[in-house]
Structures are given as structure tokens and as C-alpha cells.
Amino acid sequence: MKTVAKFEIGFEQYLDPEGKPTKKLPRTANKEELLKLYRLMTLVRIFDTKAIALQRTGKLGTYASSLGHEAAHAAIGVAMKEKDCLAPMYREYAAQIERGVKMSEILLYWGGDERGSNFSGPAHDFPWCVPIATQYLHAAGAAAAFKYRKEERVAVTVIGDGGTSEGDFYEAINAAGAWQLPFVGVVVNNKWAISVPLEKQTAAETLAQKGVAAGIECVQVDGNDIVAMREVMEKALAKARAGKGPTLIEALTYRLHDHTTADDASRYRSDEEVKAHESKEPLIRLRKYLMEQGWWTEEDEEKLIEECRAEVDEAVSEYQNIEPPGVEDMFDYHFEEITEPLAEQREVAIREARRNG
Amino acid sequence: MKTVAKFEIGFEQYLDPEGKPTKKLPRTANKEELLKLYRLMTLVRIFDTKAIALQRTGKLGTYASSLGHEAAHAAIGVAMKEKDCLAPMYREYAAQIERGVKMSEILLYWGGDERGSNFSGPAHDFPWCVPIATQYLHAAGAAAAFKYRKEERVAVTVIGDGGTSEGDFYEAINAAGAWQLPFVGVVVNNKWAISVPLEKQTAAETLAQKGVAAGIECVQVDGNDIVAMREVMEKALAKARAGKGPTLIEALTYRLHDHTTADDASRYRSDEEVKAHESKEPLIRLRKYLMEQGWWTEEDEEKLIEECRAEVDEAVSEYQNIEPPGVEDMFDYHFEEITEPLAEQREVAIREARRNG
Amino acid sequence: MAKMTLIDAINMAMAHELENDDRVVVYGEDVGVNGGVFRATIGLQERFGEERVMDTPLAESMIAGMGVGMAAQGLRPVGEIQFSGFIYPGFDQIISHAARLRNRTRGRMTCPLVIRAPFGGGIHAPEHHSESTEALFAHIPGLRTVIPSSPQRAYGLLLAAIRCPDPVIFFEPNRLYRLTKQEVEDNGEALPLDVCFVLREGTDVTLISWAPAMNETLKAAAELEEEGISCEVIDVATIAPLDMETILDSVAKTGRAVIVHEAPRNVGVGAEIAANLAEHGIYDLRAPIQRVTGYDTVMPLAKMEKQYLPSTARIKDAARRTMED
Amino acid sequence: MAKMTLIDAINMAMAHELENDDRVVVYGEDVGVNGGVFRATIGLQERFGEERVMDTPLAESMIAGMGVGMAAQGLRPVGEIQFSGFIYPGFDQIISHAARLRNRTRGRMTCPLVIRAPFGGGIHAPEHHSESTEALFAHIPGLRTVIPSSPQRAYGLLLAAIRCPDPVIFFEPNRLYRLTKQEVEDNGEALPLDVCFVLREGTDVTLISWAPAMNETLKAAAELEEEGISCEVIDVATIAPLDMETILDSVAKTGRAVIVHEAPRNVGVGAEIAANLAEHGIYDLRAPIQRVTGYDTVMPLAKMEKQYLPSTARIKDAARRTMED
Ligand SMILES: Cc1ncc(C[n+]2csc(CCOP(=O)(O)OP(=O)(O)O)c2C)c(N)n1
Ligand SMILES: Cc1ncc(C[n+]2csc(CCOP(=O)(O)OP(=O)(O)O)c2C)c(N)n1
Ligand SMILES: [Mg+2]
Ligand SMILES: [Mg+2]
């Protein structure tokens, strides 16, 4: 049989789990940038711990932890420009915080308040997206708008390993390929979709290769290696910005926490498996590298943790001090101008609310 | 960058457009089998011409021609066993006729009568499927049922080039891969989805490679070469039957007619393009090969055409003599037992029908 | 002023908006060179270029979902679904995103998306090509659903839909695409998206209808007139939000109501209208409300579709029944 | 007889059918080891094996579409959609295939498929986890839609759904999953799929409800009793096909009707019930029909959901209003 097409999936890594370079680091891996990233990742981790604690004490609704995913998320945040557009799923806090979303807004959303999605990040960024994989099409649409207006902007979107089984994921990457859109799709492969392990999700050896179906560039990266992750993001963004088409990036990481606070992962996976991944998590390896370089000390670490705690505490008290929304909020954002039938229902609801105090 | 996965897409061909073998033909390409196939393809082509004529004279509704696709369809039909299950799209008449569907039933369906789908083919075969790509999931489900009951049966399904852009297509092949189902998916790439050419449909160089996304075996084949097409089908079926997993097959062919009788392809594609493909169509090449072998003569050809015409004419008169359905038919097949509200509406409709004579 | 068909008016409205608003793009399966399978977009790609009138891959969730993305980023996308029976794969994007983006972000992002689709039965088309699906969309908060039934209303309502800062599902009765011609001026004047149209005044009974069934409803009114039954005829047209005021006013006058639609009866839009009449107009009603609708069956294939569709005769019967009480 | 919760009864019904019918398979996202996110399928994989209780990839169209395929080939698949708000990607397969296969093939093929999904609000869940979508399914010809609201009805109706030779959408009010316990015998006795349940007899006003709102409706009835208003309470439960006879009989007796549901009002199932009352019971009605429903808004996030949901107070108000006329 004649061969008519060939494909190879590459894997990128610069820092191994011990924080040892596996090859020469790229330009972006300088002291200043790496410290910035380390701070961001640390902040998000402390935020995450706090959010889980808030949920456990009834002060927050169901919350999706980002524990272990910090490098993948942070790299997305720093590689993007403000004018680029992010269509996230629901746990990429590091990317969003870097783009200006406040931690209090994240809490507001998981606290059950739509105002959290009217956030301080770029106004053109999409809100959290719960229906799995749908956000990939929003990003493709955004990219089409940028291309149409000849703007040098890129739409970036994120999905999980489980999400790659949904039709919308494929429809989006196929359209991005067909139209050569300025689109970067990230698959954050954390090995689990709630209780479903990757092996049950697909027979594909890598998730990067799903891009082959769309005829687009695709690459796998160590998503716990912030250096590699950033480098791969930067390249994909530059390519997209130059009008050279979309990229699909599979970031290998691991979900160290339960799926959400409503989940109990001990029901379906072993402690040993989790333990085995704890040593590969992204903060340890970056800290080791920074210390090895002499760019970071135990004292720096302690100071940073304190600073982050203070920042998180402030966000929490901001969150807790926000006035509850009025019942009219439920009605006022459905149409630019409220419709007649809705206006009537609004009156009923306001009356009800008054009656109930 | 380290390479973590590699893929190659093979292309299968035995007979070139001139009917010349490009390599040694397989066992199935013996005189008896090839003559059977040639007869089937000729019958379907004559049927097709007749159906279009019926539509043009108001005796049939919109009809989807299979002109040019005969080899791909016929190979599917002969390679499958009766116990296997076919989930077709809407133009694979050769496959269906081989499996026992009557031409009069095909006409009945396109004539706007549901009874056409209560056909004489295997009772477990799915009916025509208009919502593009949905049939791929039915086949995956059928395959799951066969696997569950440990039956040595395979579910075969067919889609067009356009259909490979739909989410259901990907969800089906991914599930088939994840569960290693006895599933064979055929993509009949006829280069056009109504007026949309393949280049606008996807950036993928081949449609076979879409199987890479699902981690399943995939192969491209000259779909106008009945020998290659059959061989590839037989192999995929044998593999599936042996419990060794699914295959995705891209069959390269060309839609020589309008999309359907409601379409006018001259609006969007050139005569030259169509002409260029006419010489590559499947009947010519098989006839040339048969004649070269001394297995077929002009007289055989004339006789065959006459026989086929007679057979088609009989089917047409069968179609035209079928009693029109009663209005109660509209109600009687929604539930095993008609529901109360529907029974009331049925009475109204019967009264109405009586009034209108 | 030119006399034109409903589909010409649709085409003219899109051309008008493409001409006057850079943010407008038209996209969908076969809308380019082919001009759509019904030719609604004919000539638009030639005139406005491939960047503004785009053929898409074959994927309805993509059409809806990318529409959300484009609209959220400042475009005014006008997507076509080839037939309303193929809109279902896009349902999730419409209900979960198009209809919710403004509310979800408390107004930060909006979704000025129009999804057009040929609609309804009566043209002897193949399976799935004749569906009446308005009830599924009318039930969705945050969405507008509009169905014109004359060339003038098609033009004015489509302009309004494209200019609307919120998502609109715009169904086009394909049976009426070329049925009659009407003078339509290309004056850029939009019609309101939340007011019903009183097409005929009368005193005995109000016939309330929309979409292709308007045709049989108007015929019934004319024929009933000859029998001495005076019908007021309302084209609901803006299915959601529903303008009950116009309907209630009319029924307050006539005391009788017949609701006519092609979609299945059970939990159809006719039910909502009847429920409102029962809630707010019960003391005006001089006879039970009548619904003349499609049956609660799958839309049949061509041979039976005439028997499925509400006929003029059935509408007349229903009106007469209201006069008996 | 054991006292158990509604979710226990669901689990027991599935176990009963898995035990007694080889054709039954349970499948969906996280239904295996994890037992479903609410634990409805807990222990089933352990007991019946991975071949009969299967975790699927994350894809709802696949769950619905493969369900059609499995059902057409002789299995009795019971698919789970993780929350009713995630059923939309499977909508096309449900409406275009599950509901039509028997009709399309004139009975040659059938689709005995059950799709279960947790349903409704009130549990402070994240976005999209609290939707009430019954109207979208009740409108679809060829489909049954069922929502139990007590452990006993959950058991009997789920048995019936699994044994039904036609497709059934089976919604489970997650707010009631663990709210109360009731004695349920594992006797394999199914309930009919087309009869409403009269839960309480009364003479002044009929309260018609279903799904989680049954809880507030029953409370309202008890409290109204103390005020001297005697309520008949109907749990519709079998949403489609709709048993109007039971409802009409009750309203013929009481002369007053209050319909209560969580879904948005516009073109909801309440509209169909009201329309039927107006058509067939108008001369029995002594007061305008009242609908107490969710607002025509997107289901709000947790902080506002209490204000969205029909409260006992609103139901009582509506009942009192019917007594004023
Ligand atoms: C369409 C849809 N189906 C189901 C769910 C319920 N659900 C929420 S998260 C999740 C698993 C997602 O796994 P993955 O894509 O790997 O992302 P991760 O949470 O692991 O980051 C599921 C099934 C949903 N939110 N949307
Ligand atoms: C879901 C859906 N969308 C749109 C259509 C309308 N339609 C019918 S055939 C067709 C093109 C199909 O092209 P392809 O898949 O290449 O198959 P071919 O007809 O060329 O064999 C379209 C868009 C449909 N039937 N179903
Ligand atoms: Mg995951
Ligand atoms: Mg094609």
C-alpha cells in the first residue's frame, strides 16, 4: 500500500520533575519571568486551598480546584496578550488572574452569583463555561471575528481530557483548520474526567493527535513544566498571530484534588496513583530550579507565602462583603430592553421578595 | 522535541482507471465474483437513471443519485454478511439491494412513503438516515450490542465527506475505539457536500486520518476500484469480527450527478471538473478489466442492460401499483400501543380524510 | 417599488444590512456560490465577497457556537441552518449560550446573533425537511423567535432581527417563499419584534395563527365571511416574546378564539395563547377556545403531509363550532 | 419492607431490571465505580459487572445515539445524563431518532431506550445543574416523559420505563432524592405510564403539579386546609402522554385549578394543561386558572434560586385568588 500522509506528534519538555533542564532553556526562562510565574502559581495555590476551606465551611458553593494544574494555566495567562481572547473552561484561575480577573470575582461565581462573570479581566474574555467543550466553538467564532477584522489577535481556549470526546471539540478544531483561524486550543490532560480515567475516554495514544483529524498542527507538552508550557504557548500564539493557522496543544498534568468539592476521588482512584503524581507537580520543580540557580531562598518562599495569604484573605473579605444582588437582577439582563411579559414577572418577584423580607 | 507518536495513512488500489492491475489481484477478484459485482453496479446505475426520470416527470419526490459511487456501495454490500448490520446514509442503493432491499422500496421512500423503510433487507438494518452523521452513532450502538451479546457480527456505517465535519461522526469513532467495537465506518468522499467542495470542509489532507483522533486503524482506498474497495472492506470486517477493533475507511470517489434532483450542480462546479472524473468512474474500469480477461463481451453487456432495464421497470410498476397508505398509518406506529390523546386525534384525521374523499 | 416574493424580501433585507453594516456576516452550509438551497442568499457572495458571505463546514453546532463567538466579539452574524429540522445539533449552543450570554455576564457580553432557517411543511420535501419547531425555542428564556408570513413582514422583521442586540431565531415558511408577490420597498425600515399583526378586522371570532398556516387561515376567514361569520385575523409573527395584549383585545371584542398552527399540538405555542386567554380573558370568552394544529405525530413524509397540515376546512369547522355555543 | 429515599428506590428499580432482564444495560458518565455523581447507580457495577454497567466517554449525543443503536438491536439501554442541563447535545438523537424509529420503519425497528437525568433546582448546584426541561420533551411526538416525586412512584415508574417498548425520558428531581423516606417493596410491580396520581382529595381547588414542586404544592395544600380551603392535589408524573381525564374530572368537581411547575412559564407544560381546561372544562371553571411557575428567566445561580422557585406562599396566594372569584 502506498503511503499518502504521515504524522508525528512531538513532546516538549525543558525541566524534568527534579527541576533539572533537559536541554537549553529558551529566552523567556529568565529570572524575572520565572519569578513572576512562580509567584502567580503560588498565589493560585493558596487561593485554591482557601476556596476549598470556604466551601467546607458553607461559605462557598461547589468549587473546582486547580491543584496541580497551575503551570499549564499560568503559562496560558502570561503568553497571551491583553487583546487576545480567552475562552476558558472552569478551573483556569491562574490564567484568568494573570489577565486581571479578581479572586473575589472567582469566589463570587462559585458562591452562586452571576456578577462574578462580569469580571475585571478583559471585557472580551468569555466567562466560565460549564457545558463541556462548547467553549471551543466560541473561541473559533472569536478567532473568525479577529480574522474578519484583520486584527492581530488570537483566541485561546482550554478543554479537559474528557472534553475531547464531545462533538463540539472536533467541530471547532476542524473549522479552525478549514479557515486557518488565529486559534490556539489547549487540552489540559489531567488524566481524569471526574471518575473516568483517560483509558476509558479514548483509544488515542495522545490527545494532541486529535488535531490530525482537523489537519492542524498539534503538539504534546509536559504541562507541569512551566518553561515548556510557556514556550509552546508562545510559539502557537506567534504562529496564529502571523496568520499561519491554528495549533492544538496537549498539556500533560494531573488532577491532584477531587474533581470538585462535590466529588470524592478516593472512591475511584488509589492513593498511590495520586502520590506518584505529587512529586511531579509544577511548583516543586520550578522552585528546585530557581533555588539551584540561586534565584530563590527559603526566606523568599516564606515571605511569598505570607504575601499571598494576605492577598487571598483580602479577596475573601471583599467577596464576603459584597451586597447580595436584588431580585430584579434575575430579570434585567435577558434582553437589552426588558420585554413586556418579563417586566410583569419582575414586578411579581419584587413583591414576593418584599413580602419575604 | 521527542516524538511520542507516529502515523501513516495508506492508500489501496488494485485497478487503475484504465482497468489495468497495479499489483496482483486478491482472491476475491475472481471471474464469478467480479461478474456478480459488475451486474449489481450496472443494475444500480440503470435504476438510478430511471429514478431521476421518474422525479423529472413528477412520479417521485426528491431523489439522491448514486451515480459514480457504485463501486464503493457495492463493495460494502458484498463484503458484509447478512447478520451484520448496515447503518446507511441515503444513497447507498447498491449495498442495500445486495442485502435484499427492493428497488420498489427505495422508490417508495423517495416517493414520500414511510413504508419504504419497512423494507425487505435484513430487519436489523437501519433505515435511510437524513440527519447527517447521526447514523455513525447508531452503528456504534449496534456494535456495542453485538459485543455485549458476544455475537460475531459487525456494524457498518457510511458517511460523506461533508458528514465528517459533524460532531456525531467523531463521537462515534471515538467510542468505537474506546470500546474496541466491531465497527466499520466508511467515508464515501465524493469531493462535494452539495455545493461545498472538500477544501472548504476541512484542512485534513485525507479523511482517513480522522481515525487518528480516535486511535483506530484507518486507511484510504480508491473507491472507484471495486477490487480494492472490496478487499479493504473484507479485511476491516474480518478484523472487527475477530474482536480486534474498528476501522475507518475513506473511499475516494466522485459525485457525478447533482447532489439530489433538487440541486443544480452546474451552479457551483465546472463541466471540466466533472468530465475529468467521468473517465475514472467505476463501471468503465471494471468492464475494461473483464473484457481484457475475456470474461465479458459487448453482447454480454447488451444483454445485461436489457435484463436490468426489465428488472427496473418491474420495480417501477410495483412501486406505482402500491395502494396509498391510509391516514391511520400516520398514527399507528408511534407507540407499541396507541396513547389515549393520539387515538382521539386519529379519529379526527379519519373523519377529515372521509370528508375529503 | 418592486413586487417580490417572500424569499426575495429576505434576500433584500440581508443585502441591505450587509451594505450598511460592516459587522454583518452571512454564513452557513451552501450559502455562498450556491446561494442557499432555496436561493435566499443568492448573489450575496458575489456582491459582498467571500469574507462576508461564507460557506461553512457541515456542522450545525458549529454554526450556532461560532455564531455565539463572533457575536460576542462584535460581529452581527446571520447564520443559516439549511432546514429547521437540522437545527437540533445546534440546540445546546442556542439554549446554553446564545440565550444566556448577556444574563450570565450581567451585560458584559452580548449575543446579537440571528439564526435563519426554512421552516414548515407543504413542499413535498424529503424527511426532516418540513418541521415546525417554534415551541422548542419559544420556551427558552433570553431568546426571540420570529416567523414572518408575507414579503413585507419578512423584510421588516429580518432587518429588525439583524439589528437586534440579542439573539433571534428567524424561521422562514418555505411554503410561502414563492407563493405570492407583494410590493416591498427597500427603505431599511424595521418592524417591531414584539407586536402581533392584525391582518383582517372582524367581529365574530378571532383567528390566531402564524407561519405557513397563515395562508389557510386567511383563506378560511375569506370563506367564512361569505357564510356570514366575520373573522378577525392575527398573524402572531413574533412568537416570543408574545404580544398577548393584541390577542386579548381582539378576543375581548369577538368573544371567540381559534388558534391555528402547523406544529404538533401538545405543549405548542397555541397552548400558551390558550392558557393566557383562559387566565386573563375567561370572562370575555363566549365559547371554548379551539386549537387547529398539526397532530401529535412525527411530520409525515410527502404522501401524507396534506393530511397532517391544518386545512382551511378544519379551520372553518373550528370557527363554526365557536359560533354554536 | 424497607424505608428508603427516592434515590434508593431508583437504584433498586435498576437493580431489579438488571437482575431479571439480560437485555438491560446501564451506561453513562461516571455511572460505574463512582455510582453516578448522586450515587443513583451505586453498587450496580460491582454487582452486575462492567459489561452491564458501563462508564462512557464524555459525550451526550453519543449517549443518546448509541442508546438508539443498542435499543434498535434488542437491548434495553438505560442511559444516564449527568444533569438534565446537559441533555441538549443529545437532543437531535432523541428527537430525530429515538422518538421516530418505530414510526419511520412502520414498526420494523423499535427504540426501548430510557434516558435518566437528575432534574430541577433547589440544591445549590453550579450553573446548568438545575434545569427543568420537561416542556421540550413533552412537545416531541413519539416520546414519553416521566418525572416521579416519591420513592414509591420512582420505583414503579422506573420499572415501567425500562420495560416500555418505546423511548422514555425519565427525570429525577434531585432536590427530592434524599428529602424523605417511604416504604418501598421490591416487588417488581410497575406503575402505568399514562395515569396521573391523585395524592390528596379535596373539594375547593385542584392543585396540579409535578417534579420537585410537588413538595411545595403538598405543603401548600396542608396549610390551606387549615385556612378552610380544601385542595385536591394531583401529581401529573407522566408528563407525556398527558392524562387530562384525571385532571378534568378533578376540576369538574372543584371548579378551580392552580398549576404549579418549576420550569419557565412560557410554553411550559402548564400551558398545555390550562389550554385543555379552557377547551374542555370551561363550563366547570368557577375562576380563572392560575399558573405558579418559574419565571421566564434563565435558572439563576444558587444565590437567587430560592427566589426563582415557586414557593409555598405563591401557591397559597394563587389558590386563594381562585377562591375570590
Ligand atoms: C456537556 C456536559 N456534560 C457533562 C458535564 C458534567 N461534568 C462536569 S466536569 C466533567 C468532567 C470533565 O472532565 P475533563 O474534561 O477531563 O476536565 P477536568 O474537570 O478533568 O479538568 C463532567 C462530566 C458538563 N459539565 N457538561
Ligand atoms: C444535520 C444535517 N444538516 C444538513 C443537512 C442537509 N444536507 C443534506 S445532504 C448535505 C450534504 C452532504 O454531503 P456529504 O456528507 O459529502 O454527502 P454526499 O451527499 O456528498 O454523499 C446536506 C448539507 C442534513 N441532511 N442534515
Ligand atoms: Mg480531566
Ligand atoms: Mg460528499
Domains belonging to chain C, first-starting first, are: 2-184 (3.40.50.970), 197-323 (3.40.50.920)
Contacts of B319 (CB under 8 A, 6+ apart): B103, B104, B107, B108, B111
Residue D1 pLDDT greater than 90, yes or no: no
Under 8 Å between Cβ of A183 and A139: yes
User: Is the separation of the CB atoms in D197 and D128 below 8 Å?
Assistant: no
B-contacting chains (≥3 CB pairs under 8 Å) = A, C, D
pLDDT at position D325 over 80: no
By Cβ distance, the residue of C141, C270, C275 closest to D298 is C141
Cβ of D304 and A325 within 8 Å? Answer: yes
Q: Do C221 and C202 touch, CB atoms closer than 8 A?
A: yes
pLDDT band with cut points at 50, 70 and 90 for residue B357: confident
Q: Which atom of ligand 2 is nearest to the CA of B161?
A: 16
Average pLDDT over residues A218-247: 98
Question: Residue D211 pLDDT > 80, yes or no?
Answer: yes
Mutate to test the interface with B, among C297, C308, C311 (most CBs of B within 10 A): C297
d(CA C49, nearest CA chain A) in Å: 12
Residue C1 pLDDT > 80: no
CA distance, residue D99 to nearest chain B CA (Å): 8
How far, in Å, are D2, D33, D34, D42 from residue D46 at the CA level? 22, 8, 10, 8
Q: Is the dihedral of CA D172, D173, D179, D180 positive or negative?
A: negative
Instruction: Specify the DSSP class assigned to residue C8.
Output: H
Residue in C73, C92, C94 with CA at minimum distance from that of residue A140: C73
The answer to whether C104 and A127 are in contact (CB under 8 A) is yes
Q: Bin D107: left if φ > 0, else alpha if -120 < ψ < 50, else beta.
A: left
Residues of B in contact with D89 (CB under 8 A): 167
Helix axes A282-293, A31-56, angle to 10 degrees: 150
Q: What is the dihedral of CA B233, B234, B235, B237, to 10 degrees?
A: 80
Average pLDDT rounded to a whole number, residues C27-45? 98
Name the residue among C36, C25, C110 with its Cα closest to residue C76.
C25
Closest ligand to residue A163's CA? 1
Residue D201 has pLDDT above 90, yes or no: yes
Percent of chain A residues topping a pLDDT of 70: 100
Around ligand 1, the residues with Cβ closer than 6 Å are A 91, 130-132, 160-163, 190, 192-194, 255, 259; D 29, 58, 60, 82, 86, 89
Contact of B284 with chain C, judged by CB distance below 8 Å, is answered with no
Whether residue B194 has its Cβ less than 6 Å from ligand 2: yes
Do residues A90 and C78 make contact, with C-beta atoms less than 8 angstroms apart? Answer: no
Nearest to C218 by CA among C84, C291, C319, C321: C319
Cβ–Cβ gap B112/C303 under 8 Å: yes
Instruction: Supply A167's cell numbers.
Output: 462533538
D109 chain-B contacts, CB cut-off 8 A: 123-124, 126-127
Chain B neighbors of A175, CB-CB under 8 A: 165
**DSSP 8-state symbol, D204:** S
Distance in Å, CA B154 to ligand 2 centroid? 25
Tell me which residue in D96, D268, D271 faces C88 most closely, judged by beta carbons: D96
pLDDT digits (tens, 9 = 90+) for A144-187: 999 999 999 999 999 999 999 999 999 999 999 999 999 999 99
Mutate: best of C267, C282, C291, partner D, most D CBs <10 A: C267
Q: Is the pLDDT of residue D2 over 90?
A: no
pLDDT by residue (tens digit) across B37-69?
Answer: 999 999 999 999 999 999 999 999 999 999 999
Residue found by looking up cell 453546532 in the block: C61
DSSP string over C69-116:
HHHHTT-EEEEE-SSGGG-GGGHHHIIIIITTHHHHTTTSS----EEE
Nearest-CB residue to D278 (from C135, C266, C289): C289
- How large is the average pLDDT for residues B154-170? 98
Average pLDDT rounded to a whole number, residues A191-208: 98
- Structure confidence at residue D62 as a pLDDT band (50, 70, 90): very high
Degrees to nearest 5, angle at CA D63 with D61 and D66: 95
CB C81, CB A92: distance < 8 Å: no
Residue in C6, C10, C3 with CA at minimum distance from that of residue C158: C10
**What is the pLDDT, as a whole number, of residue D203?**
98
Separation between Cα atoms, residue A144 and residue C84, nearest integer Å: 25
CA dist list (Å): A260 to A148, A199, A256, A265, D35: 39, 21, 11, 9, 16
Average pLDDT score over chain D: 97
pLDDT digits over A266-288, tens only?
A: 999 999 999 999 999 999 999 99
Torsion angle, CA of B272/B274/B278/B281, rounded to 10 degrees? Answer: 150
Q: Which domains does chain B have, with CATH numbers?
A: 10-325 (3.40.50.970), 326-357 (no CATH)
Mean pLDDT of C263-281: 97
Is pTM beyond 0.90 here? Answer: yes
In angstroms, the separation between the Cα of residue A149 and the nearest Cα of chain C is 9
Model pLDDT, residue A357: 77
Grid cell in block for residue B248: 475507518
Q: Tell which residue, A182, A127, A191, A195, has the closest CA to residue A164.
A: A191
A217-222 and A247-252 beta bridge pairing: parallel
Query: For chain B, what is the mean pLDDT?
Result: 98
- Across the range B6-17, mean pLDDT stands at 98
- Contact residues, B window 122-141, toward C, CB-based 8 Å cutoff: 128, 130-132
Rg (CA), chain D: 19
| Region C30-50 average pLDDT | 98
Cβ(B131) to ligand 2 under 6 A?
yes
Contact (Cβ atoms closer than 8 angstroms) between residue D254 and residue D228: no
> Given a cut of 80, is residue D268 above it in pLDDT?
yes
Nearest to residue B195, comparing CAs of B254, B131, B271, B264? Answer: B264
A151 touches chain C (CB under 8 A): no
Q: Residue B209's pLDDT band (boundaries 50, 70, 90)?
A: very high
Do the strands C144-146 and C238-240 form a parallel or antiparallel pair, or are they unpaired? antiparallel
Q: Categorise residue C85: left if φ over 0, alpha if ψ from -120 to 50, beta otherwise.
A: alpha
Mean pLDDT of A240-257: 98
The residue type of A279 is: S
Q: Distance (Å, rounded) from C-alpha D102 to C-alpha D71?
A: 11
What's the pLDDT tens digit per position in B247-277?
A: 999 999 999 999 999 999 999 999 999 999 9
Interchain contact A336–C (C-beta under 8 A) = yes
Spatial strand order in the sheet of D197-200:
D197-200, D231-235, D205-209, D257-264, D290-294
The pLDDT value recorded for residue C2 is 84
How far apart (Å, rounded) are the C-alpha atoms in residues D252 and D30? 47
Query: Quick check: helix, strand or coil at residue B86?
Result: strand
Report the pLDDT value the prediction gives residue B83, as an integer from 0 to 100. 98
| D234 φ/ψ angles, rounded to the nearest 5 degrees | -115, 130
Question: Active site includes A259?
Answer: yes
Backbone angle region of C49, left / alpha / beta, with phi > 0 → left and psi within -120 to 50 → alpha: left
Ligand 2 proximity of B69 Cβ (cutoff 6 Å): no
Residue C29, ligand 2, Cβ within 6 A: yes
pLDDT surpasses 80 at D118: yes
Name residue A56's amino acid: R
Which positions in chain A touch B212 (Cβ < 8 Å)?
A: 7, 204, 209-210, 212-213
pLDDT tens-place string over residues A24-39: 999 999 999 999 999 9
Instruction: State yes or no: pLDDT of B32 exceeds 90.
Output: yes
* Set of cell numbers at residue D292: 405558579
Burial tier of D48 (Cβ tally within 10 Å: 0-12, 13-18, 19+): middle
Q: Is residue B255 annotated as a catalytic residue, yes or no? A: yes
Q: What is the pLDDT of residues C140-159, one digit of tens each?
A: 999 999 999 999 999 999 99
Q: Which of B45, B99, B153, B255 is catalytic?
A: B255
B95 lines ligand 2 (CB under 6 A): no
Q: What pLDDT score does A350 carry? A: 97
The H or E element containing residue C172 is strand C168-173
pLDDT tier, C195 (very low <50, low <70, confident <90, very high otherwise): very high
Which amino acid is located at D25 in the chain?
V
User: What does the pLDDT read at residue A356?
Assistant: 85
Determine, for residues B175 and D59 on separate chains, whether the beta-carbon distance falls below 8 Å: yes
User: Which of A212, A232, A248 to substitute to test the interface with B, most B CBs within 10 Å?
Assistant: A212
Report the DSSP beta bridge partners of residue B93. Answer: none
pLDDT of residue A78: 98
* Spatial CB neighbours of C190, under 8 Å, sequence gap ≥ 6: C156, C157, C159, C160, C163
Q: Which residues pair with residue C27 across a beta bridge?
A: C54, C79
B348 vs A357, residue with greater confidence? B348
What is the per-residue pLDDT for D219?
A: 98
Q: Decide if C258 contacts C230 (C-beta within 8 A).
A: no
Rounded Cα gap, residues B124 and B87, in angstroms: 9
Distance B190 CA to ligand 4 centre (A): 5
Q: Are A341 and C241 in contact (CB < 8 Å)?
A: yes
Q: Looking at the partner chain, which of B138, B168, B341 has a beta carbon nearest the beta carbon of D242?
A: B341
What's phi and psi for D170, nearest 5 deg?
-120, 105
Angle at B38 between CA B36 and CA B43, to 5 degrees: 95
Q: How far apart are CA B57 and CA A257, in angstroms?
A: 68
